[in-house]
Amino acid sequence: MKLQPASEMAKIAEENYEKFKQTILESEEFESLKNSIEEAANEGRKTLLYNVNSSCDPHTIEFLKSVLTEAGYGVNGVFPNLHAMRITW
């Protein structure tokens, strides 16, 4: 058995990471996150303790955190054991 070159594995990883990101951005979890932020803002709040689906893996939570940060939101705490994150705007 031959070990694939690292450059090939990096290419495969990058392609699959792009698919992973797209899947999350099209998911019900992401839609719920957006709706929860909007509802909190409509209620006059500037913070949200968002409960992440308990089956959500840490890799997905980190990606959601990065998307929020890129959009200008603060993510002051990610509590994987509680499946929650505190989001501010």
Determine, yes or no, domain membership for 4: no
User: What pLDDT does residue 79 have?
Assistant: 64
What is the DSSP code (8-state) at residue 5?
A: P
Distance from C-alpha of 32 to C-alpha of 51, rounded to nearest angstrom: 10
Average pLDDT over residues 53-81: 86
Determine, yes or no, domain membership for 73: yes
Query: How does pLDDT run across 37-66, given as a tens digit for each residue?
Result: 999 999 999 999 998 887 788 888 889 999
Domain of 27?
9-88
Domain count of the chain? 1
Determine, yes or no, domain membership for 23: yes
78 forms bridges with which residues in the sheet? 85
Q: Give residue 46's Cα distance to chain centre.
A: 19
Determine, yes or no, domain membership for 1: no
Is pLDDT above 90 for 72? yes
Distance from C-alpha of 64 to C-alpha of 43, rounded to nearest angstrom: 23
For residue 84, give the 3-state DSSP assignment.
strand
Q: Which residues, other chains included, contact 36 with Cβ-Cβ below 8 Å and sequence gap of 6+?
A: 48, 50
Name the pLDDT band for 9 (thresholds 50, 70, 90).
very high
Determine, yes or no, domain membership for 45: yes
Determine, yes or no, domain membership for 47: yes
pTM over 0.85: no
